[in-house]
Amino acid sequence: MSQLSSLINSPFFAVYSGVLSGSLSITGLGTDPDMDGLFTLSNFECNLPDYIPDHMTAQKVLCTFNQNEITIPQTEFQVKESRLVAAIKVMLDRWTFSSVEATLLTTTNKGIPVDIKVPLVRMKGNVGLDTSLVVADNRLDVAGTITLQDSEITAMTRSGASADYSSSTPSSTTPSAPMDMHIALKLLVDQKVKFVLNPILQGLVAPQTPIEFTMDTTEGTWNLKGDIVLRGGEVTYLNRNFYLKEGRIVLNETQDSFDPNLTIRAETRERDENGEPVTISISAIRQNASRFSPVLTATPAKSESEIYSLLGQIVTADSTNQNGTFSIGNMLIAGLDYSVQVTLLRKGEDALRDLC
């Protein structure tokens, strides 16, 4: 099979190794043949590069030809430490493929690793599958349930870096694909699933949370819908991390509008000029991400200017020198400190949260 890979491989399916053996009998008219036979594919290795980067292996795959039908019965594939059972039926129209039907089911508690990108959203981690796929008339239909485990859902801004959620949407579908797609999936959250809404917040999703995703590239439409409760995480505001005490994200996003609705309550600790501890809280109730403007409060009570002053001491890293003048160097150091925090220390925070 490795010698045929250049003829078979594509972003949707790639073959790496395997030995195909068996026999096939072709009878009937040359324009309308009947095929009968049986093939065995041994030590098969493949993957779906755009969706399942890790290689899938199977010790033996049986392939039966019966006139215009090719059948692969339920076959177990190994994907790292997980197992995936797949069954496939291919219908032929003379010498061409008419349709392909497949069912995919994971049989272990640990899902298979995937990395899926759709407009403005990326899902990476382990998933359990109970799905069906049908390819016919240059159209791919996907339906079923996906269980998320130890995963991360990242909702990107349209620019990839800017927080301008309300700007106009680019093409509502993925770059031109070789076939139309119709997807109707129910995502069911299990353990250790993180939702990241760049650049505002990240948090762990409460288990058993359903999220629905649909897409129709023929109509140029997609929809991401869910009511997500967060248990722990961080809100980034004024160059500070506020630790999430309560969080909720309502999603009803389409190709025309990507602006999640947020309800959050988060806090951080600081000390005032007398060295006394102060808890600074931020809260937002049903605010869209594009208009995120939380209310600041403090315990013990402080005025808004006092709160900003407390936060500003950290933001500027005391960016005045002994003469009280502004120091660009100190501001750059403060920015570097924050960059180190969000890029290096966050990994340590995540590891500690997993441990606890």
The pLDDT assigned to 340 comes to 55
Whether 119 has a pLDDT exceeding 70, the answer reads no
Contacts of 306 (CB under 8 A, 6+ apart): 272, 298
Tens-place pLDDT, residues 50-77: 888 889 999 999 999 998 899 999 999 9
The pLDDT assigned to 267 comes to 93
Q: How high is the mean pLDDT of the chain?
A: 81
The pLDDT assigned to 22 comes to 95
The pLDDT assigned to 96 comes to 81
341 falls in which pLDDT band (50, 70, 90)? low
Whether 130 has a pLDDT exceeding 90, the answer reads yes
Q: What is the 3-state secondary structure (H, E, C) of the chain?
A: CHHHHHHHCCCCCEEEEEEEEEEEEEEEECCEEEEEEEEEEEEEEEEECCCEEEEEEEEEEEEEEEECEEEEEEEEEEECCEEEEEEEEEEEECCEEEEEEEEEEECCCCCEEEEEEECCEEEEEEEEEEEEEEEECCEEEEEEEEEEEEEEEEECCCCCCCCCCCCCCCCCCCCCCCCEEEEEEEEEECCCEEEEECCCEEEEECCCCEEEEEEECCCCEEEEEEEEEEEEEEEEECCEEEEEEEEEEEEEEECCCCCCEEEEEEEEEEECCCCCEEEEEEEEEEEEHHHCCCEEEEECCCCHHHHHHHHHHHHCCCCECCCCCECHHHHHHHHHHHHHHHHHHHHHHHHHHHHC
- What global pTM score does this model have? 0.72
Least confident range from 17-26, 81-90, 144-153, 169-178: namely 169-178
> Which residue has better confidence, 351 or 112?
112
The pLDDT assigned to 348 comes to 74
The pLDDT assigned to 322 comes to 44
Whether 324 has a pLDDT exceeding 50, the answer reads no
Whether 320 has a pLDDT exceeding 90, the answer reads no
The pLDDT assigned to 73 comes to 95
The pLDDT assigned to 110 comes to 81
Using alpha carbons, select from 126, 155, 146 the residue that is nearest to residue 52.
126
> Which residue has better confidence, 13 or 319?
13
The pLDDT assigned to 123 comes to 86
Whether 175 has a pLDDT exceeding 70, the answer reads no
Q: How far apart are CA 235 and CA 239, in angstroms?
A: 10
Least confident range from 69-73, 247-251, 305-309, 312-316: namely 312-316
Work out the average pLDDT over 239-249. 89
Least confident range from 172-186, 240-254, 329-343: namely 329-343
Least confident range from 214-218, 236-240, 248-252: namely 236-240
The pLDDT assigned to 52 comes to 85
> Which residue has better confidence, 356 or 327?
356
Q: Which residues sit opposite 204 in a β-bridge?
A: 194
Work out the average pLDDT over 78-84. 89
The pLDDT assigned to 214 comes to 92
The pLDDT assigned to 94 comes to 83
156 falls in which pLDDT band (50, 70, 90)? low
Tens-place pLDDT, residues 249-271: 999 988 888 889 999 999 999 88
Whether 331 has a pLDDT exceeding 70, the answer reads no
